[in-house]
Structure 1
Amino acid sequence: MSAEWLYEAGIGEERAILVAHGQILSARIEWGDPVRPGLVAPARLVKRLHDAKRGIVRLEDGTDAFIDHLPRDATEGVTLTVRVVRAAIAEKGRTKLPVTRPAPGEAPAPAPTLREEIEATGATLRALPVTSTAMAVNGWDDLVEQALTGEIPFAGGSIIISPTPAMTLIDIDGTLPPLKLSLEAVPAIADALHRLDIGGSIGIDFPSLADKKDRQHVDKALADSLIDWTGERTAMNGFGFVHLVARLERPSLVARFARHRSAAAARILLRAAERVADPGALLLCAHPAVLDAIRPEWEAELARRTGRTVRRKPDAALSLIGGYAQAIPQ
C-alpha cells in the first residue's frame, strides 16, 4: 500500500497524517491563522532595519511581520506586495513575528488551506468525515499524546522533545550503555522530526561518548535514518551534541501544543464531541481554561454539525487535557 494523506476538517483545526502500513510517517495541523505561509497581501513598510535588506511591514489587518530581501529603493511608508514564508512562532514570553518577502507582480491571495497545500504537491489525499475511525486506527491518539508530553518511548529509553526560544531540544534518557542507548534513539529521533513536523534549529543531546569511533558510528546511523530529511547536520562533538537545521515555516506540533495548551485541549475536546454517538444534548465537561478557549463560533459550528444543543460544565479539578464530551437528556 502506497502512502496517503488522511485529512479531517475539524472545528478550529485542519489535521492530516501521512500513513503507510498502519504507521504515521508525517503529520500536519493548521489552526486557521490567516497570516501563514502562502498568503500574498499588500503591506506597508514601517521600518527599515540597519542591515538595509530587512525591515518590518504592517499588513492590512494590523499584523506586523519581518520582511527579507527588501529592494534598495523601498522607503519607509511605501506599500509592497509580500508573500508570507514563515508563520508567527509563539515562544515563552513572546512571539516571533511572521516572515515575508517581496512578491512584485503577484496578485493578493489568501494562504492555502492545509488540504489545498497537500493536494498542490500531487500527493494522494483522502478526506474523512470526523466520525471516521481511520485516523485513530493509524495512531492519531498516540501522536497527540506525544505532541502534548514531548516524550516518545523506544526500546530501552525515551526521547524528550522541548521547544525553547533558541531551538527545539531533544534529550535522550534510558538505562542502556551510552553507545547502545544512542543507537536505539536514532530511529525515534528521525521519526519524530517528520511525525511532529519539527523544523528550524534542532539540538540533539546524546550521551557523551569518549571514543571518536563510537561518535562516528552514531553519526552514520543518524545520517542513514535522515536520508529522506532535508536539512543540514553537524557531526557529534565530544559532549554528545548534534545540531540540525531545517527550513522552518510553522510551529511544530510540540511547540504548538506547549505554547497553547488550553487552545489545543479545546480542539481535542471539540473533536471528541463530534464523535459522540449517543442521542441527546452534548455536554462539554472540562477545566474552565479549556472551556474559555472555545470560541463562540466554534460552539455554534459544533451545534450546527451535530444538530444538538451544546452545554458546558466547568470543572477545575480536571487537568487541561482531562476534559470529556458526553450525551445527556435534552
Structure 2
Amino acid sequence: MGKLKDRYIRFDWAIKRLLRDKANFAVLEGLLTVLFEDKTQIVEILESEGNQLAETDKFNRVDIKAKNSKGEIILVEVQNTREVYYLERILYGVAKTITEHISLGESYGNIKKVYSISIVYFDLGKGNDYLYHGQNRFIGVHTSDELQISTKQENAILPKYPREIFPEYYIIRVNEFDKVAKTPLEEWVNYLKTGEIEPDTKVPGLSEAREKLKYYSMAPAERYAYDEHLNAIMIQNDVLSTAKLEGLTEGRSKGLAEGRAEGRAEGLAEGRAEGLAEGRAEGILSTARNLKAMGLSMEDISSATGLSKEDIVKL
C-alpha cells in the first residue's frame, strides 16, 4: 500500500480546535503578517466568552492581542460564520471587542485599534474581488482634504488621522478566489478555500501549517468529527442554494402577477418587492425545516438562517 498523500485540515475547522493553542500561534501569525504586509506576533488569545451574542460565537470568533513591527498592541478579530445580517455582526463584534478590553473609568487614550478580519465561506454579496478592505477616513465635503486631529501622545501633541484610531475591516470572500496562487496572499487564500498547501512553500504560516494541520495526524474520533463537519457544510450549502432559488422564483412570479393585476407601474414595483420579500422569507423557513429534519443543532440552524431559537422551535 502506497503512502497516503498529505491532506490538510481546513482553516475554518483548525481555528476552532487547534490554532488557539500557543504552540500553533505561528500559523495565525503568518496569516496576519501576509495580510498586513507587516511582521505580526500574537501576544495572547483573549477571553471574551462571558458575553457571547450566541453560543456559537466562541467557535467562530477568535479575539487576538497582537503586536506589529512598530511595537504597537492591536486587537485582531477573526470571524468565520454564516449570518444573514453579517455586516451587522461585524460591527457588533468590533464594538464588543473595544468595550470588553477597556476598564470602566479608564482613559479613552488606552483604547486599542481593532482589525476585523472576516473569512467567509458563503455568498456574502456582489463584488468581483476576493479581498475587500475598509477603513474610516474623514474627507472634506468641499475641500476633499483628509482631516487631521491633534492628540496627546507621550507628553507631546501630535497630529493623527482618524484612520489610525478607528477600526479597519478585511473581508476575505474565499469562494470568489479562482486564480493560480502566485503571491503569498494568494497562497493563503487558496489554502483557506481548498485546504491545499504547496510542498515547498515558504509563505509565513503555511510552512508551519503543513506540519501542524495534517489530516492524517488527527485522532480517529477527531477525524470523524471533521469529516462530519465538511458533510454538514456541503448539505447546508445545497439546501440554502435550493431554497434561495425557489424563494426568488416564487417571489418574482407572485410579484409580477400582483403587479399586472394593479395595471400600474407603481403596483408592479410594489408587487415585485412584496413577492420577493415573501419568497425569501418562505425560503428561509423552508431551509430551517430541512436543516431541522437533518438533525442539525438549534445553534447551527439559527446561525445558517438568522431565525431565533423560538421561531425554530415553532417549525
Shared fold per TM-score greater than 0.5: no
Ranked by relative contact order (alpha carbons within 8 Å, sequence separation 6 or more), the top structure is 2
Q: TM-score, normalised by structure 1?
A: 0.27
TM-score by length of 2: 0.28
Structure (1 or 2) with the greater strand fraction: 1
Higher helix share: 2
